[in-house]
């Protein structure tokens, strides 16, 4: 069996992609590879502990909830036989056992059997089907328990929910981005010792008809520096493209990196057949427009030799990789990007490293961490530049885009016949709310919550994802949002609607034109006063 055959267990089209309760061995060699690759996740550990705590005859309904490809069937199949004396297992609640019944019908029957039986019930189910049963099912106790869980994450007595979404695939630690599952998988596939896949790789290198590009890709992904960059790209796809990372999608992605049409550094950015690569393609370093990258691409296309680059290629010692065989300067740029943290040849590739830096991701990670600092840590001073110079400045520029001369605390409400109606709002960062948020243990890296108070009254928390942060930073620099920013603008508009509502109820309004400024007070409380060109008049 060749290395390519062994790696096929990673593919989503492989019979090993979906775990079933089968007795027949498809391939003893591939079964060993599949077993070697298996990684116990935190959700599986908690699920197993729950099953181990069940007593014989204890009635309880346990839901294992997630999306397609999360690994529900893999986990359930693993424990269904071991615990079949105390629990009835239903591996996939999206299916029925007969063409004449629906998935809802099947669940109704399961709940009926559970009610009359003596065993616990374990169900693997998609979140969508869970919501469908809450609407259409017949078993009222389960419907109520499911509804309570979906609405406020509370568990009714006798019901337990294990949700893959509660076990995030990515974490933001003090100085880096991590994905434990991804990192473990990559290290296990490429480990030097006690690795069945590595043994096939070593054999492939000795084969008379060696699959050279596959071996190069395996060698490259074995480098820890490249693994870190892969994790960072997956993290960006999660933050900026809403790309969820299921176990099946990740394994298929890794399979594509190995077996795609080119070298790994091209495979990760250029093929649209893989759902993750299709999202990562937007982060292709060859798309960056910097002076250094443009000069390199242009010189290569004009066949202008650069001595340092030619020396770099001639003295490069990296597996069996030969840069002379690369078909385009874009491939070289991708190679420079992926190997930016490796010492190679004369290190020509490192001159591009600064062009590859991602300030947005670093800025987002820093602000996210500051909002999640321990409660006893005072992060208000470090967060002040974000609230003052980014969030509040962007809000002011966006609202007053047609009147840039208005102050940051003035909000344009209307403009008619050369006159503008504005209100004054005292907006500040809400340090008390920020400190409370820092004690929240739920670490959703897809966004952080920003906290503002207006005239000393706290606003509803503002979810800010990386796309909205990017838009805010661009607005501060003078950018005007357009239709291409619609997803981020929706979040910004929701905040502005609330500010408009507050401003419109202000007891003090200003009416101004090029020459005059009127200050209007609430007639019921202060009378009405006009201020004209610095001279106040009462009426």
3-state secondary structure 198-251: HHHHHHHHHCCCCCHHHHHHHHHHCCHHHHHHHHHHHHHHHHHHCCCCCHHHHH
* Burial label, 123 (beta-carbon count in 10 A; 0-12, 13-18, 19+): buried
Residues 328, 101: Cα–Cα separation, whole Å: 56
Residues 433, 451: Cα–Cα separation, whole Å: 6
- Dump pLDDT digits (tens) for 395-433: 888 888 877 777 777 888 888 877 888 888 888 999 888
Query: CATH number of the domain that 126 lies in?
Result: 3.40.50
Looking at residue 434, its pLDDT comes to 85
Q: What is the mean pLDDT of the chain?
A: 87
Most confident of 227-241, 322-336, 442-456, 486-500: 227-241
Looking at residue 183, its pLDDT comes to 95
- Asked whether residue 335 falls in the same domain as residue 268, the answer is yes
147 lies in which domain range?
Answer: 42-166
Q: Contact 50/144 with Cβ under 8 angstroms?
A: no
User: Does residue 270 lie within any of the structural domains?
Assistant: yes
Euclidean distance between the first and the last CA atom of the chain, given in angstroms as a whole number: 95
Residues 360, 467: Cα–Cα separation, whole Å: 9
Instruction: Name the more confident of 39 and 100.
Output: 39
Looking at residue 349, its pLDDT comes to 96
Most confident of 58-62, 91-95, 403-407: 58-62
Instruction: Name the more confident of 93 and 532.
Output: 93
Looking at residue 481, its pLDDT comes to 86
Q: Contact 260/211 with Cβ under 8 angstroms?
A: no
Residues 436, 372: Cα–Cα separation, whole Å: 9
- Asked whether residue 58 falls in the same domain as residue 189, the answer is no
Res 176 pLDDT > 80: no
- Asked whether residue 490 falls in the same domain as residue 431, the answer is yes
- Asked whether residue 46 falls in the same domain as residue 137, the answer is yes
- Dump pLDDT digits (tens) for 109-165: 999 999 999 999 999 999 899 999 999 999 999 999 999 999 988 899 999 999 998
Last residue of a domain, one of 166, 198, 224: 166
Those residues with Cβ within 8 angstroms of residue 123's Cβ, 6 or more apart along the chain or in another chain: 61, 62, 63, 64, 90, 93, 107, 110
Res 17 pLDDT > 70: no
Res 195 pLDDT > 50: yes
Looking at residue 532, its pLDDT comes to 44
**Average confidence (pLDDT) over 74-79:** 92
Longest dimension (CA), the chain: 100
Looking at residue 440, its pLDDT comes to 56
Q: Which of 110-114, 227-231, 432-436 has the lowest mean pLDDT?
A: 432-436
Looking at residue 219, its pLDDT comes to 96
| CA dist 469 → 108, 143, 386 (Å) | 46, 39, 10
Those residues with Cβ within 8 angstroms of residue 189's Cβ, 6 or more apart along the chain or in another chain: 37, 195, 197, 221, 254
Structure confidence at residue 21 as a pLDDT band (50, 70, 90): low
- Asked whether residue 256 falls in the same domain as residue 381, the answer is no
Looking at residue 256, its pLDDT comes to 96
- Dump pLDDT digits (tens) for 482-497: 877 778 888 888 888 8
User: Does residue 2 lie within any of the structural domains?
Assistant: no
Structure confidence at residue 535 as a pLDDT band (50, 70, 90): very low
Q: Which of 326-335, 450-459, 508-517 has the lowest mean pLDDT?
A: 508-517
Most confident of 46-55, 148-157, 431-440: 46-55
- Asked whether residue 210 falls in the same domain as residue 352, the answer is yes
Residues 108, 114: Cα–Cα separation, whole Å: 10
Residues 6, 122: Cα–Cα separation, whole Å: 33
- Asked whether residue 318 falls in the same domain as residue 217, the answer is yes
Looking at residue 64, its pLDDT comes to 96
Question: Residue 45 corresponds to which tokens in the numbers above?
Answer: 């550990």
**Average confidence (pLDDT) over 26-43:** 89
Q: What is the number of domains present in the chain?
A: 3
Residues 332, 324: Cα–Cα separation, whole Å: 10
Looking at residue 25, its pLDDT comes to 57
Res 451 pLDDT > 80: yes
Instruction: Name the more confident of 524 and 351.
Output: 351
User: Does residue 35 lie within any of the structural domains?
Assistant: no
User: Does residue 527 lie within any of the structural domains?
Assistant: no
Res 372 pLDDT > 70: yes
User: Does residue 3 lie within any of the structural domains?
Assistant: no
Q: Which of 33-42, 376-385, 447-456 has the lowest mean pLDDT?
A: 376-385
Res 364 pLDDT > 70: yes
Residues 262, 288: Cα–Cα separation, whole Å: 21
* Residue 224 DSSP code: H
pLDDT above 70: percentage of residues in the chain: 91
Burial 39-78 (b: 16+ CB within 10 A, else e): eebebbeebbebbeebeeeeebbbbbbbeebbbbbbbbbb
User: Does residue 11 lie within any of the structural domains?
Assistant: no
* Burial label, 368 (beta-carbon count in 10 A; 0-12, 13-18, 19+): buried
Say which residue the tokens 């290569």 belong to: 300
- Dump pLDDT digits (tens) for 234-293: 999 999 998 888 999 999 999 999 999 999 999 999 877 889 999 999 999 999 999 999
Looking at residue 536, its pLDDT comes to 42
**Average confidence (pLDDT) over 523-530:** 51
- Asked whether residue 276 falls in the same domain as residue 223, the answer is yes
Tell me how crowded residue 391 is: count the other CB atoms within 10 A of its CB.
23
Last residue of a domain, one of 298, 328, 356: 356
- Asked whether residue 342 falls in the same domain as residue 404, the answer is no
Res 539 pLDDT > 50: no
**Average confidence (pLDDT) over 463-467:** 92
Looking at residue 485, its pLDDT comes to 79
Residues 143, 130: Cα–Cα separation, whole Å: 9
- Dump pLDDT digits (tens) for 292-320: 999 999 999 999 989 999 999 998 888 78
**Average confidence (pLDDT) over 311-333:** 87
Q: Which of 89-103, 126-140, 331-345, 464-478 has the lowest mean pLDDT?
A: 89-103
Res 475 pLDDT > 50: yes
Q: Where are the alpha helices (DSSP H) in 303-358?
A: 307-315, 329-338, 353-356
Most confident of 6-20, 21-35, 355-369: 355-369
Structure confidence at residue 48 as a pLDDT band (50, 70, 90): very high
Q: CA triplet 456, 459, 462: central angle to 5 degrees?
A: 140
**Average confidence (pLDDT) over 501-524:** 76
Q: Contact 443/172 with Cβ under 8 angstroms?
A: yes
- Asked whether residue 158 falls in the same domain as residue 180, the answer is no
Looking at residue 531, its pLDDT comes to 45
- Asked whether residue 341 falls in the same domain as residue 398, the answer is no
Looking at residue 421, its pLDDT comes to 84
* Residue 396 DSSP code: H
- Asked whether residue 80 falls in the same domain as residue 178, the answer is no
User: Does residue 17 lie within any of the structural domains?
Assistant: no
Res 530 pLDDT > 50: no
Last residue of a domain, one of 166, 189, 204: 166
Most confident of 341-350, 417-426, 458-467: 341-350
**Average confidence (pLDDT) over 500-529:** 72
User: Does residue 21 lie within any of the structural domains?
Assistant: no
């Amino acid at each position: 069996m060749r290395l390519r055959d062994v790696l096929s267990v990673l593919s989503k089209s492989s019979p090993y992609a979906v775990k079933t309760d089968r007795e027949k061995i498809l391939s003893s060699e591939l079964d060993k590879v599949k077993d070697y690759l298996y990684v116990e996740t935190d959700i599986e550990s908690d699920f197993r502990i729950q099953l181990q705590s069940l007593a014989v005859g204890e009635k309880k309904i346990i839901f294992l909830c997630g999306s397609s490809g999360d690994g529900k069937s893999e986990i359930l199949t693993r424990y269904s036989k071991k615990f079949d004396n105390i629990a009835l297992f239903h591996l996939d609640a999206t299916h029925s056992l007969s063409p004449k019944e629906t998935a809802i019908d099947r669940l109704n029957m399961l709940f009926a059997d559970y009610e009359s039986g003596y065993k616990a019930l374990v169900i693997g189910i998609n979140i969508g089907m869970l919501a469908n049963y809450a609407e259409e099912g017949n078993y009222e106790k389960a419907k109520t328990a499911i509804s309570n869980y979906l609405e406020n994450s509370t568990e009714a007595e006798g019901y337990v929910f294990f949700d893959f979404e509660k076990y995030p695939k990515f974490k933001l630690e003090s100085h880096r981005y991590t994905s434990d599952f991804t990192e473990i998988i990559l290290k296990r596939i490429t480990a030097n010792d006690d690795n069945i896949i590595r043994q096939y790789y070593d054999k492939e290198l000795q084969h008379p008809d060696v699959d050279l590009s596959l071996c190069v890709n395996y060698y490259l992904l074995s480098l820890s520096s490249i693994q870190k960059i892969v994790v960072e790209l997956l993290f960006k796809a999660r933050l900026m493209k809403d790309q969820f990372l299921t176990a099946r999608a990740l394994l298929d992605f890794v399979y594509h990196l190995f077996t795609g049409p080119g070298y790994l550094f091209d495979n990760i950015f250029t093929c649209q057949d893989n759902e993750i690569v299709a999202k990562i393609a937007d982060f292709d370093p060859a798309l960056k427009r910097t002076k250094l990258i443009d000069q390199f691409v242009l010189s290569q296309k004009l066949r202008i030799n650069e001595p340092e680059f030619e020396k770099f290629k001639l003295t490069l010692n990296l597996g069996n990789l030969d840069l002379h065989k690369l078909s385009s300067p874009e491939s070289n740029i991708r190679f420079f990007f992926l190997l930016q943290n490796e010492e190679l040849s004369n290190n020509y590739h490192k001159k591009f490293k600064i062009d590859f830096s991602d300030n947005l991701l670093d800025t987002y990670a820093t602000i996210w961490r500051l909002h999640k600092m321990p409660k006893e840590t005072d992060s208000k001073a470090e967060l002040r530049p974000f609230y003052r110079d980014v969030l509040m400045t962007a809000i002011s520029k966006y609202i007053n885009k047609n009147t840039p001369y208005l102050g940051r605390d003035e909000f344009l409400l209307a403009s008619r016949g050369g006159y503008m109606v504005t209100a004054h709002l005292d907006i500040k960062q809400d340090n008390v709310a920020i400190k409370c948020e820092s004690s929240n243990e739920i670490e959703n890296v897809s966004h952080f919550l920003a906290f503002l108070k207006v005239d000393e009254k706290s606003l509803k928390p503002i979810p800010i994802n990386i796309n909205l942060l990017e838009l805010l930073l661009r607005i501060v620099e003078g950018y005007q949002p357009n239709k291409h920013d619609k997803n981020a603008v929706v979040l910004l508009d929701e905040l502005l609607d609330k500010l408009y509502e507050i401003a419109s109820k202000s007891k003090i309004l200003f009416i101004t034109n090029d020459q005059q400024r009127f200050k209007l007070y609430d007639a019921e409380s202060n009378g009405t006063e006009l201020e004209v060109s610095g001279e106040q008049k009462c009426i």
